Amino acid sequence: MKNYIIKITLAIISILLSNSCNDEFLERYPLDEISSETFWNTEADLMVYNNSLYNLARNDDNVPILMGHYDGFNSHWGSIWFQDEFADNMAPNHSRHSRFQQVRAGKHNIPTSPQWFGYKGWNFVRAINVGLENYGNANIAEETINKYAAEARLFRGWFYAEKVEKFGAVPWVEKELNIDSEELYAARTPREEAMNNILADLTFATENLPDDWGDGNAPGRLNRWCALLVKSRICLFEGTWRKYHGGSDAEMWLQEAANAAKEVMENGPYSLYNTGDPDNDYNAYHQMLDLTGNSEVMYWRKYQLGTFTNHVQSYFSYSGGATKSLVEDYLCTDGLPISLSPLYQGDETIENVFENRDPRLRQTILHPDDTPKYRYYNLDGRDYPRITGMSGGLITATGYHIIKHYNADDLIGKAYNTAESPAIILRFGEVLLNYAEAVAELGTITQTDLDNSINLLRDRVGMPHLDMGNVPEDPRYLNDGVSPLIVEIRRERRIEMFMEGLRYNDLRRWKQGKKLEVPTMGIRWTDEAMQRYENATIKTSVDPVSGNTYIDVYQDTDWANPVFDESKHYLWPIPLSTIAQNPNIKQNPGW
């Protein structure tokens, strides 16, 4: 039944979009067709039309904002979980993930046509603008019209912000176009002007969306609280981008980010998922199949047999595993980084890595002793980790198997593309991180701010509080050009939001792209490791900092010797096909 409703909804939008460009249709109203002249009458009409926007947004490649999981074979790349492969958290080594490898290594070129999550999806904007031009025709209360307009404007602002983040200036359009519209051949709108329009859309959404659509977070529609989180995310990106890359009004954007997050913190109905079990609470809800009513999850994508399904659990090995860089960022249980803590046991064995560390590490990366706990790879009886070249089981390129989202119940006994792992798109934990970073960047942060944000996340896993009067100075980050406090807030973000799609954008907005030039390494490689991981086929390098030897994932591959050109790699190139169609669209600098 649900699939039937979706088909009808898509049919409606197709008819309305096609009819809006048909001059002859404007003169006659067919009695047997849905038309723009007969459709926009009731709240139900507006709701059905906006349903079609949600359906268009399910294509994460074209509209990469409500990121979830593709179905079927495309689950192997089209997933929010794998977005960190663009950055330094994961080590993709499968040929099918070459796009991630190209970008992270700085080896990507100007594409002929749009590539994954690229310069496309503009039909989504057109669909939004058609709705915005017609909602007012309905003979219903203005407040009701505004909540659907707010939903559409949230989509538009979010979509355009994603394009600005990747490409800079964008072709801003806020009206319905036809084949004769001059805007089809206009130049890109300058970044700051486009971002002002985006902010107006987001603000309208936060002021007109309902607090609750009455859908019980099953999941349903984006509410005002979701809009506030989206606004805080986008404004934080823009504020830090302007602060570190140059631009006007950085403080205004950071303040908007802080205000939006604070509104959710003080007045929203959400809280961190916390049962008082610090050894399990962090990843427990990431492994649930049904997140209905979860206190932390603000918006998620549900998959259910007979409706929408995916195959994402089967493709963890494509990610290559987590990196040494990520694993080393987890603090020790005294709240100090491994470079300073006397509790750090070193990394001579993988078991040592987990000793006296933030409990989130063991809830993110598979400890060998936890294989039975997670029924890892169907409890196949093999020892883990298993490394490239070893036969059987799940394989990792780094030695660090990712366990954060792993759910054996969604694998064992299930046929191809019948899995139901949900995708968490917006959660309260990010609200806390956005707020802490925004006020820290503004220079107004207080201990109370930390206690109401970062330290709530640490409380969940039993970690010491971040104390403004005693912030550790990690020598590994002395050259980042920011205060030790901001270093720790950024570290918390990396750890808490691992594999949730934010790391690549974070490095770019902080102007820390050079971190992508650090060779991608895995576990420590010793004589004992060679015996333990017999038949592993790996390359190794000596870490210049510690002098120890580690797996070097990309040595002797096309992705060795990564580069990050500061003059161009913070933005993606515009496809040649786009420039050919509209010569007024100019290529990004350096490409």
Does the residue 164 lie in any domain?
no
The pLDDT tens digits of the residues spanning 265-303 come to 999 999 999 999 999 999 999 999 999 999 999 999 999
Does the residue 498 lie in any domain?
yes
As a whole number, the mean pLDDT across the chain is 92
How long is the chain? 591
Q: Is 354 exposed, middle or buried (0-12, 13-18, 19+ CB in 10 A)?
A: buried
Burial 31-59 (b: 16+ CB within 10 A, else e): eeebbbeebbeeeebbbbbbbbbbbbbee
Given this model, what pLDDT does residue 220 score? 87
Does the residue 192 lie in any domain?
no
Given this model, what pLDDT does residue 183 score? 67
SS3 523: strand
Peptide bond preceding 359 in cis form (omega within 30 of 0):
no
Alpha helices in 168-278 (DSSP H): 191-208, 224-245, 250-267
Does the residue 407 lie in any domain?
yes
DSSP state of 399: S
CA distances in angstroms from 322 to 364, 369, 419, 433, 551, listed in the order given: 9, 18, 23, 22, 12
- pLDDT greater than 90 at residue 15: no
Does the residue 539 lie in any domain?
yes
Query: What's the rounded Cα separation, in Å, for the pair 408 and 13?
Result: 39
CA distances in angstroms from 45 to 13, 42, 136, 139, listed in the order given: 11, 5, 12, 11
- pLDDT greater than 70 at residue 419: yes
Q: Is 511 exposed, middle or buried (0-12, 13-18, 19+ CB in 10 A)?
A: middle
Given this model, what pLDDT does residue 184 score? 74
Handedness of CA 269, 271, 274, 279 (dihedral sign): positive
CB proximity list for 81: less than 8 A, separation 6 or greater: 69, 312, 319, 405, 423, 499, 500, 501
The residue range of the domain holding 109 is: 79-115+307-421+471-591
Does the residue 414 lie in any domain?
yes
Given this model, what pLDDT does residue 25 score? 24
Query: What's the rounded Cα separation, in Å, for the pair 440 and 530?
Result: 45
Given this model, what pLDDT does residue 519 score? 94
CA 176 to chain centre: 29
pLDDT > 70 in the chain, percent: 93
Alpha helices in 1-96 (DSSP H): 2-19, 36-39, 43-57
Given this model, what pLDDT does residue 29 score? 36
Encoded amino acid at 283, one letter: N
Given this model, what pLDDT does residue 23 score? 33
The pLDDT tens digits of the residues spanning 425-437 come to 999 999 999 999 9
The pLDDT tens digits of the residues spanning 212-245 come to 998 876 788 999 999 999 999 999 999 999 999 9
Show the CA angle centred on residue 87, arms to residues 81 and 91, nearest 5°: 75
pLDDT grade, residue 35 (50/70/90)?
low
pLDDT grade, residue 169 (50/70/90)?
very high
SS3 55: helix
Does the residue 585 lie in any domain?
yes
The predicted model gives 16-32 an average pLDDT of: 38
Query: How many independent structural domains does the chain possess?
Result: 1
* pTM flag (> 0.85): yes
Q: Which of 268, 196, 256 is nearest to 441 (CA)?
A: 256
The pLDDT tens digits of the residues spanning 457-504 come to 999 999 999 999 999 999 999 999 999 999 999 999 999 999 999 999
